């Protein structure tokens, strides 16, 4: 038996007892899978300084200002007296989310600064008791959400609390770690406040815990159990710790790729901060946002997009404008997002992404780069009964030609399309199939003649248990041992001469890339040796914060159509900074 199949059977068998409660989980997660798109709101006292302290701009995230500027509790607390967001209107917040096509709202009930945005009997450090505003923001939002049919969810920082001597993180007011009693903070603030959140605000969709840090298995379990006991239909986020969440959370601004096994969500900023900063104008374009939304859906995940309201209680206009653009697209193309599952192909496609609907069987081709005249898809096994543009209300059928080429084994689907893209950002072609969608999952050359071999789909070769592994983006980390190597099987239908290109990834914000490794790529009986050097950046479609670097390794000729294997073996890995060979993919780019 194939070892991969054996491994997956074993995994299922072993996993069963852990998911004894899976019926309950399946029930509580149904709405969330349908929703696919939510609004994150980071709002708290940090909106008052808005990124500036005593006349100095403080770098980093807006909601981290207390930590970054090491503001003493006694000083930071004074911000509460200035927090009076008189322009706040819960109905407006909800309308902005709803108009964008978002189905749930996750707001910070308490961030790391320890300040509660709700009336809490547990601590007077809250919006009702400590500010001139005296209004319970979460209460008003819960009423507005129920009116509009959106799910309200709460972010709650369970370990970090810079206001409390026993919370995690404040080393400037409370430097003596030996005096800290995390359990006391946890018992006296976390558990009772979470109880308040699940008791006083109606049905809650999920609690978004964050930064598990030091939390013990027992404490995480107690939190998850508390949430589920008080509201059995309330989800617990992946960051509760110890894998006890109802779904996984990707890293901040990280979009998971590859073999995503569980339900997952990615939180994303509209600019570079979560909490409002007056000088952050690095806004993502509507195109990036719509592409990310479709991309996350194509990998079976939820997209949680953040806004940071001002201290006056207003969502910044650049955010509102961008969300309105996403909403414009969603009104036409929402069917290709809501309730869909990921792409049936394990690999990425050069022109965009695919989402799927099981019932009735549909494939949604999200075409980011409109080819004009004809759209070609390889590897489709199911018979396509009908194709049309989602933007076309009349559903005028597009002419479809489907062919199996016996000589190359290639399944080819050709769709006649209008010359002009129906949408400049993402035009969706709907395919209706006979029965469930079936595709060939083998890696294959694409109609643009390029072959992309993603690291996460490689076979790993190592003498012992491999030390290299994949991060949640599907990028290789810990490839420091040159005896470990990767290979891929793939199919070529259009032979010729190719440039072998390695794509590697920088760390966050494009810094900390380590090159100079020497590698050998072997394909079609030929070796090319090259250096992982910076031969230019390529756009990273998943994330503008992690730059991709392209390294040209050399040329190979692939003489005829057929099945090939490419292996990538390191000759030398530079490991000074311990990043190693951060491989994203190897590409065979047609050489002209």
* Site residues, ligand H79 (CB under 6 A): 42, 60-61, 63-64, 67, 210-211, 252, 267, 274
In the complex, least distance from residue 67 CB atom to ligand H79, rounded to whole angstroms:
6
Round to whole Å and give the CA distance between 239 and 249: 7
Determine the residue with CB nearest ligand H79.
Answer: 60
In the complex, least distance from residue 270 CB atom to ligand H79, rounded to whole angstroms:
13
In the complex, least distance from residue 262 CB atom to ligand H79, rounded to whole angstroms:
19
User: Two tokens at 569?
Assistant: 């073996």
Give whichever of 188 and 252 is closer to ligand H79, judged by the CB atom: 252
Give whichever of 63 and 196 is closer to ligand H79, judged by the CB atom: 63
First to last CA, the chain: 43
In the complex, least distance from residue 274 CB atom to ligand H79, rounded to whole angstroms:
4
Phi, psi (5° rounding) for residue 138? -70, -35
Structural contact between residues 419 and 373, judged by C-beta atoms closer than 8 angstroms = yes
Residues 6+ positions from 145 with CB-CB distance below 8 Å: 94, 105, 151, 152
In the complex, least distance from residue 246 CB atom to ligand H79, rounded to whole angstroms:
17
Give whichever of 85 and 238 is closer to ligand H79, judged by the CB atom: 238
In the complex, least distance from residue 372 CB atom to ligand H79, rounded to whole angstroms:
40
Give whichever of 64 and 247 is closer to ligand H79, judged by the CB atom: 64
Instruction: Put the strands of the sheet holding 400-405 in their side by side order.
Output: 374-378, 410-416, 400-405
In the complex, least distance from residue 70 CB atom to ligand H79, rounded to whole angstroms:
11
Round to whole Å and give the CA distance between 293 and 295: 5
Give whichever of 51 and 267 is closer to ligand H79, judged by the CB atom: 267
Give whichever of 110 and 362 is closer to ligand H79, judged by the CB atom: 110
Give whichever of 454 and 506 is closer to ligand H79, judged by the CB atom: 506
User: Two tokens at 517?
Assistant: 């490794």
In the complex, least distance from residue 93 CB atom to ligand H79, rounded to whole angstroms:
18
Give whichever of 251 and 541 is closer to ligand H79, judged by the CB atom: 251
In the complex, least distance from residue 245 CB atom to ligand H79, rounded to whole angstroms:
14
Identify the burial level of 496 via C-beta atoms within 10 angstroms of its C-beta, where 0-12 means exposed, 13-18 middle and 19 or more buried: middle
Contacts 24+ apart (CB under 8 A), 493-496: 493/378, 493/405, 493/408, 493/410, 493/444, 493/445, 493/561, 494/445, 494/449, 494/561, 495/558, 495/559, 495/560, 495/561, 496/449, 496/557, 496/558, 496/590, 496/591
In the complex, least distance from residue 50 CB atom to ligand H79, rounded to whole angstroms:
15
Going by C-alpha positions, the residue among 211, 192, 216, 249 that lies closest to residue 64 is: 211
In the complex, least distance from residue 251 CB atom to ligand H79, rounded to whole angstroms:
9
Q: Which residues pair with 477 in a beta bridge?
A: 469
In the complex, least distance from residue 211 CB atom to ligand H79, rounded to whole angstroms:
5
Give whichever of 205 and 454 is closer to ligand H79, judged by the CB atom: 205
Structural contact between residues 478 and 470, judged by C-beta atoms closer than 8 angstroms = no
Neighbours of 534 (CB within 10 A): 13
Give whichever of 127 and 305 is closer to ligand H79, judged by the CB atom: 305
Going by C-alpha positions, the residue among 107, 115, 41 that lies closest to residue 82 is: 115
Give whichever of 211 and 472 is closer to ligand H79, judged by the CB atom: 211
Structural contact between residues 354 and 363, judged by C-beta atoms closer than 8 angstroms = yes
Round to whole Å and give the CA distance between 336 and 429: 9
Round to whole Å and give the CA distance between 558 and 574: 30
Kindly give the residue spans of alpha helices, DSSP state H, lying in 55-185: 65-68, 73-76, 79-82, 90-100, 127-130, 137-148, 182-185
In the complex, least distance from residue 454 CB atom to ligand H79, rounded to whole angstroms:
27
Give whichever of 61 and 137 is closer to ligand H79, judged by the CB atom: 61
The CA radius of gyration of the chain, in Å to the nearest whole number, is 26
Residue 22, classed as helix, strand or coil, is: helix
Helices and strands counted in the chain (H then E): 13, 30
Give whichever of 256 and 446 is closer to ligand H79, judged by the CB atom: 256
Structural contact between residues 335 and 390, judged by C-beta atoms closer than 8 angstroms = yes
Going by C-alpha positions, the residue among 213, 277, 292, 249 that lies closest to residue 106 is: 249
């Amino acid at each position: 038996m194939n070892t991969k199949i054996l491994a997956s059977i074993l995994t299922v068998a072993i996993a069963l007892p852990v998911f004894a409660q899976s019926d309950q989980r399946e029930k509580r997660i149904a709405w969330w899978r349908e929703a696919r798109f939510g609004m994150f709101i980071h709002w708290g006292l940090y909106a008052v300084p808005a990124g500036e302290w005593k006349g100095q701009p403080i770098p980093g995230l807006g909601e981290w200002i207390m930590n970054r500027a090491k503001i003493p509790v006694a000083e930071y607390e004074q911000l509460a007296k200035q927090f009076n967001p008189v322009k706040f209107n819960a109905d407006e917040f909800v309308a902005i989310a709803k108009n964008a096509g978002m189905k749930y709202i996750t707001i910070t009930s308490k961030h790391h600064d320890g300040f509660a945005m709700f009336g809490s009997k547990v601590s007077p450090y809250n919006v009702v008791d400590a500010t001139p505003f005296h209004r319970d923001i979460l209460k008003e939002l819960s009423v507005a959400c129920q009116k509009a049919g959106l799910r309200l969810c709460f972010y709650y920082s369970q370990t970090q609390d810079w206001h409390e001597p026993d919370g995690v993180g404040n080393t400037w007011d409370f430097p003596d770690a030996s005096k800290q009693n995390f359990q006391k903070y946890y018992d006296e603030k976390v558990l009772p406040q979470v109880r308040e959140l699940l008791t006083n605000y109606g049905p809650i969709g999920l609690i978004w815990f964050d930064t598990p840090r030091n939390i013990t298995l027992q404490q995480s379990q107690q939190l998850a159990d508390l949430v589920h006991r008080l509201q059995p239909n309330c989800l617990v986020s992946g960051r509760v710790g110890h894998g006890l969440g109802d779904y996984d959370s990707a890293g901040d601004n990280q979009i998971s790729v590859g073999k995503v096994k569980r339900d997952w969500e990615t939180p994303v900023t509209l600019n570079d901060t979560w909490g409002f900063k007056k000088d952050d104008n690095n806004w993502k374009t509507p195109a990036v946002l719509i592409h990310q939304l479709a991309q996350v859906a194509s990998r079976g995940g939820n997209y949680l997009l953040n806004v940071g309201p001002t201290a006056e209680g207003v969502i910044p206009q650049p955010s509102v404008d961008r969300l309105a653009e996403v909403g414009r697209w969603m009104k036409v193309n929402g069917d290709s997002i809501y309730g869909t599952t990921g792409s049936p192909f394990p690999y990425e496609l050069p022109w965009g992404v695919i989402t799927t609907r099981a019932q009735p069987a549909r494939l949604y081709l999200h075409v980011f780069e409109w080819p004009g005249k004809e759209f070609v898809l390889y590897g489709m096994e199911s018979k396509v009964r009908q194709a049309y543009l989602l933007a076309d209300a009349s559903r005028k059928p597009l002419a479809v030609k489907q062919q199996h080429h016996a000589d190359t084994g290639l399944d080819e689907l050709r769709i006649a399309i209008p010359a002009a893209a129906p949408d400049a950002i993402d035009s969706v072609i709907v395919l209706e199939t006979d029965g469930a969608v079936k595709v060939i999952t083998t890696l294959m050359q694409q109609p643009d003649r390029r072959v992309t071999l993603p690291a996460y789909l490689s076979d790993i070769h190592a003498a012992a248990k491999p030390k290299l592994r994949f991060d949640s983006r599907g990028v290789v980390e810990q490839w420091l041992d040159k005896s470990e190597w990767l290979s891929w099987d793939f199919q070529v239908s259009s032979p010729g001469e190719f440039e072998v290109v390695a794509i590697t990834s920088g760390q966050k914000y494009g810094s900390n890339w380590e090159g100079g490794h020497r590698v050998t790529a072997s394909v079609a009986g030929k070796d090319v040796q090259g250096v992982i050097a910076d031969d230019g950046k390529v756009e990273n479609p998943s994330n503008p914060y992690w730059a991709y670097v392209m390294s040209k390794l050399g040329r190979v000729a692939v003489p005829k159509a057929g099945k090939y294997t490419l292996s990538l073996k390191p000759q030398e890995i530079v490991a000074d900074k311990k990043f190693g060979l951060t491989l994203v993919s190897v590409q065979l780019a047609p050489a002209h």
